[in-house]
């Protein structure tokens, strides 16, 4: 935290603004399940966490989710903390990826998706669930159902949107060793 | 987009508005921590009343937040129904006794304990919502970063929050423009397409948005770096105001509520107020 670069600070701000706009105003409803939507913002959060690291991911999740909740009227801290952890974990798990140099092949796609699914599972099935039970004393069956639904839906949204975004982003970067001596 | 406009600052001339942003942020955090920790019906009811009184003092009319209130009410109700459907005996699990009022069918019986638990669950939200609304509606967004610094958060984080608030309208406008441009090219986001296609299509809108945001990050961070941002450990804030008596009073009130919340839990050894065993 002490050595946070100016770029990271700005990336957190803009990332949180993107997270907010997508989470607040863009909704793609899930078929067959009423009142649920795909959360596209986690695709963006995945990309930013992979690009700017775990601290940026963590703070984008925290600030973005808090702003969304406040704009509705009241914060749900258990879910905000889950989003925070998601950003942190994706950032940690994707440390090995080098997107800046444009390498995003099959292996990297697999790494990113395993990272995001594992992070979603830990965030929604462990953290959000435990906090909902601790803070609100909600019944286990209900929070478990919520956690499973959130994990599956968010993983799909992040998998499709996040992967497509990173693939396209990597294509815009110059590959390492792309110059040939003739 | 305009039909679900987000809540934003409503300037008024009231005691609540005159308090510093730091006070309001600290008050809100202490208050919601107190509400999270306890499940004591009496305290939560008192906090609900207290929150509503503060809301009245702020001169913001309930009419102005009707949409938000109805939305929150619907959400809490949905939660209450879900809890009952998933676990009709949650009250018994917490309070230990079981007094059936109305037997329905199969495992669904309405018990006094579950009704009481659901009432508490409702109070847990109603205790926080007025104060949260007040925090959003009565705090000038330009004071936000200064108030975060005021409660001891690193000013870099405070600055990130300020940047987010500053760029939300820009990002929103970009998103709108890009999505219209892509729709004109035949990228469909409406319900006419299959869900998977819609998800993929949304990436077609998000990509230009992400790329323009990344170049925006570049521009802003260069500008900030040129002005020497982050050189010193501390910085001052133009909008920061000195604390006054009313600020200390508000902080003391919030701290007292938190102390009562903790005190009840520690002295009785339970977060719950149990009227069923006397």
Residue B276 lies in a domain: no
A34 interface with B at CB cutoff 8 Å? no
Nearest to B76 by CA among A133, A27, A74, A23: A74
In this predicted structure, what is the pLDDT of residue B269? 78
Confidence of residue A35 (pLDDT cuts 50, 70, 90): low
Do residues B174 and B105 both lie within one domain?
A: no
- Give contacts of A77 with chain B, Cβ < 8 Å: 32, 36
pLDDT at A1 over 50: no
Do residues B175 and B120 both lie within one domain?
A: no
Task: Domain ranges for chain A, please list them.
Answer: 6-93+102-172
CB B14 within 8 A of CB B139: no
Residue B115 lies in a domain: yes
Which of B:20-59 have CB within 8 Å of A? 32, 36, 39
What pLDDT digit, counting tens, does each position of B140-174 carry?
Answer: 888 888 888 888 888 889 889 999 988 988 998 99
A28 interface with B at CB cutoff 8 Å? yes
In this predicted structure, what is the pLDDT of residue B239? 80
- Give contacts of A25 with chain B, Cβ < 8 Å: 1, 4, 172, 175
Do residues B128 and B258 both lie within one domain?
A: yes
Residue B90 lies in a domain: yes
* Cβ contact A9–B156 (<8 Å): yes
Beta strands in B68-211 (DSSP E): 100-103, 109-111
pLDDT at A53 over 50: yes
Nearest to A162 by CA among A30, A11, A31, A42: A42
Do residues B41 and B65 both lie within one domain?
A: yes
Nearest to A19 by CA among B160, B196, B215, B188: B160
CB A52 within 8 A of CB A11: yes
For residues A41, A46, A51, A52, the Cα torsion angle rounded to the nearest 10 degrees is 80
Mean pLDDT, range A67-79, rounded to an integer? 85
Strand partners, B109: B103
- Give the nearest chain B residue to A43 (CA atoms): B203
Do residues B117 and B253 both lie within one domain?
A: yes
Residue A111: both structure tokens together: 């790494």
Confidence of residue A42 (pLDDT cuts 50, 70, 90): very high
Do residues B38 and B126 both lie within one domain?
A: yes
User: Which DSSP letter does residue B208 get?
Assistant: H
Distance from CA of B163 to the nearest CA of A (A): 5
- Give contacts of A152 with chain B, Cβ < 8 Å: none
Cα dihedral across residues B53, B56, B60, B64: positive or negative:
positive
Percent of chain A with pLDDT over 70: 96
Residue B81: both structure tokens together: 């129904």
Cα B156 from chain centroid (whole Å): 22
CB A16 within 8 A of CB B161: yes
CB A85 within 8 A of CB A54: no
In this predicted structure, what is the pLDDT of residue B2? 41
A27 interface with B at CB cutoff 8 Å? no
Do residues B257 and B211 both lie within one domain?
A: no
- Give contacts of A139 with chain B, Cβ < 8 Å: 83, 86-87, 90, 93
Distance from CA of B107 to the nearest CA of A (A): 15
Residue range(s) defining the domain that contains residue B179: 155-226
A28: part of which helix (H) or strand (E)? strand A28-29
Mean pLDDT, range A33-50, rounded to an integer? 83
Which of A:37-56 have CB within 8 Å of B? 38, 40, 43-44, 47
pTM tops 0.80, yes or no = yes
In this predicted structure, what is the pLDDT of residue A32? 67
Cα(A53)–Cα(A110) distance, integer angstroms:
18
Say which residue the tokens 């809100």 belong to: B28
Which of A:59-98 have CB within 8 Å of B? 59, 63-64, 67, 70-75, 77
* Cβ contact A74–B6 (<8 Å): no
In this predicted structure, what is the pLDDT of residue A34? 62
Do residues B164 and B59 both lie within one domain?
A: no
- Give contacts of B209 with chain A, Cβ < 8 Å: 18
Residue B147 lies in a domain: no
Residue B159: both structure tokens together: 């600055």
User: Which of B1, B2, B6 is most worth mutating to test chain A (most A CB atoms within 10 A of its CB)?
Assistant: B6
Mean pLDDT, range A46-51, rounded to an integer? 91
Phi and psi (nearest 5°) for A94? -105, 20
Number of domains in chain B: 2
- Give contacts of A11 with chain B, Cβ < 8 Å: 217, 221
Which of A:94-123 have CB within 8 Å of B? none
User: What are the mean pLDDT values of chain B's consecutive 10-residue runs (278 residues total)?
Assistant: 60 85 90 88 90 87 83 87 84 81 78 87 89 87 84 88 90 90 84 78 88 93 91 82 87 91 85 77
Do residues B32 and B135 both lie within one domain?
A: yes
Do residues B126 and B210 both lie within one domain?
A: no
Task: Please list, in sequence order, all residues whose beta carbon lies within 8 angstroms of the beta carbon of residue B147, skipping any fewer than 6 positions away.
Answer: B20, B21, B22, B24, B25, B139
Say which of B6, B86, B159 has its CB closest to residue A142: B86
Q: Is B269 helix (H, G, I), strand (E, B) or coil?
A: coil
CATH number given to A6-93+102-172: 1.10.1760.20
CB B169 within 8 A of CB B39: no
Please report, in angstroms and rounded to a whole number, the separation of the first and last CA atoms in chain A. 46
Residue B38 lies in a domain: yes
Do residues B128 and B161 both lie within one domain?
A: no
Do residues B120 and B44 both lie within one domain?
A: yes
Percent of chain A with pLDDT over 90: 35
């Amino acid at each position: 935290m002490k050595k946070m670069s100016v770029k990271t600070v700005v990336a957190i701000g803009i990332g949180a603004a993107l997270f907010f706009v997508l989470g607040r105003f863009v909704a793609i409803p899930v078929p067959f399940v009423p009142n649920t939507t795909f959360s596209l913002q986690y695709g963006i959060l995945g990309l930013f966490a992979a690009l700017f690291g775990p601290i940026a991911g963590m703070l984008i999740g925290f600030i973005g989710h808090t702003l969304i909740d406040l704009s509705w009227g009241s914060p749900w801290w258990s879910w905000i903390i889950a989003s925070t952890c998601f950003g942190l974990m994706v950032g940690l798990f994707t440390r090995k990826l080098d997107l800046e140099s444009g390498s995003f092949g099959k292996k990297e796609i697999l790494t990113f998706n395993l990272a995001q699914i594992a992070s979603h599972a830990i965030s929604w099935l462990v953290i959000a669930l435990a906090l909902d039970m601790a803070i609100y004393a909600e019944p286990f069956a209900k929070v478990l159902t919520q956690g499973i639904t959130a994990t599956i839906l968010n993983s799909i949204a992040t998998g499709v949107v996040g992967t497509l975004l990173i693939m396209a982003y990597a294509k815009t970067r110059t590959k390492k060793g792309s110059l040939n001596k003739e | 987009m305009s039909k679900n406009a987000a809540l934003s600052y409503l300037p008024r001339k009231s005691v609540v508005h005159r308090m510093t942003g730091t006070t309001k942020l600290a008050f809100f955090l202490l208050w919601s921590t107190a509400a999270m920790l306890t499940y004591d019906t009496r305290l939560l009811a008192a906090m609900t009343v207290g929150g509503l009184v503060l809301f009245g003092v702020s001169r913001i009319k309930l009419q102005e937040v009707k949409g938000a209130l109805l939305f929150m009410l619907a959400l809490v109700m949905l939660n209450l129904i879900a809890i009952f459907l998933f676990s009709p005996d949650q009250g018994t699990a917490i309070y230990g006794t079981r007094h059936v009022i109305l037997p329905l069918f199969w495992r669904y019986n309405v018990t006094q304990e579950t009704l009481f638990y659901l009432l508490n669950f409702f109070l847990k939200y109603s205790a926080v919502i007025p104060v949260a609304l007040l925090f959003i509606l009565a705090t000038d967004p330009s004071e936000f970063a200064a108030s975060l610094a005021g409660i001891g958060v690193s000013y870099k984080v405070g600055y990130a929050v300020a940047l987010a608030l500053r760029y939300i309208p820009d990002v929103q406008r970009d998103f709108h423009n890009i999505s219209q441009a892509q729709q004109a090219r035949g990228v469909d986001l409406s319900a006419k397409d299959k869900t998977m296609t819609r998800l993929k299509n949304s990436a077609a809108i998000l990509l230009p948005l992400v790329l323009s945001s990344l170049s925006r990050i570049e521009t802003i961070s260069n500008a900030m770096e040129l002005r020497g941002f982050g050189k010193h450990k501390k910085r001052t804030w133009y909008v920061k105001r000195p604390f006054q008596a009313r600020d200390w009073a508000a902080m003391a009130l919030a701290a007292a509520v938190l102390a009562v919340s903790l005190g009840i839990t520690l002295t009785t050894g339970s977060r719950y107020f149990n009227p069923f065993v006397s």
